[in-house]
Amino acid sequence: MIPFDTEDEAIAIGNDIVYGLAAGVWTSDIGRALRMSEKLKAGTIWVNTYRAVSFTSPFGGYKSSGLGRENGQQAIKEYLQVKSIWLHTGESTKNPYARR
């Protein structure tokens, strides 16, 4: 725990580190929770809880806290490459190089 006087000071303390895997905010003020969640530079923000995880939610950090994301649809993208395939199945065309 590190004491602070203002939200801006808390954000500065939380972001003044080279890592950004996760952060926790404890408050009864939903506005404060949302403001701080937007400004904290971390891959996961827990509000009034800690270490809650799900395989459906992307997990990974900002800054020096790893590369990419684990879990969720974001993790699948690490294993995919996009490719376009155009397949003509009709009769032969007069000029196969003409734009269609």
| Residues in CB range of 88: below 8 A, 6 or more apart | 96
Q: What CATH number does residue 27 fall under?
A: 3.40.309.10
- Does the pTM exceed 0.75? no
In a domain, 83, yes or no: no
Q: What are phi and psi of 47, to 5 degrees?
A: -115, 120
Residue located via tokens 């895997």: 21
Q: Which range scores top for mean pLDDT: 53-57, 66-70, 72-76, 83-87?
A: 53-57
Question: Mind giving me the DSSP string for 81-96?
Answer: ---------SSPPS-T
Q: How many domains does the chain have?
A: 1
* 37 touches 47 (CB < 8 A): yes
The answer on pLDDT for 67 being more than 80 is no
Range of the domain at 34: 7-77
| Predicted confidence (pLDDT) per residue in 80-94, tens digit | 777 777 777 888 777
Q: How far apart are CA 64 and CA 17, in angstroms?
A: 9
Establish if 90 belongs to a structural domain. no
84 lies in some domain: no
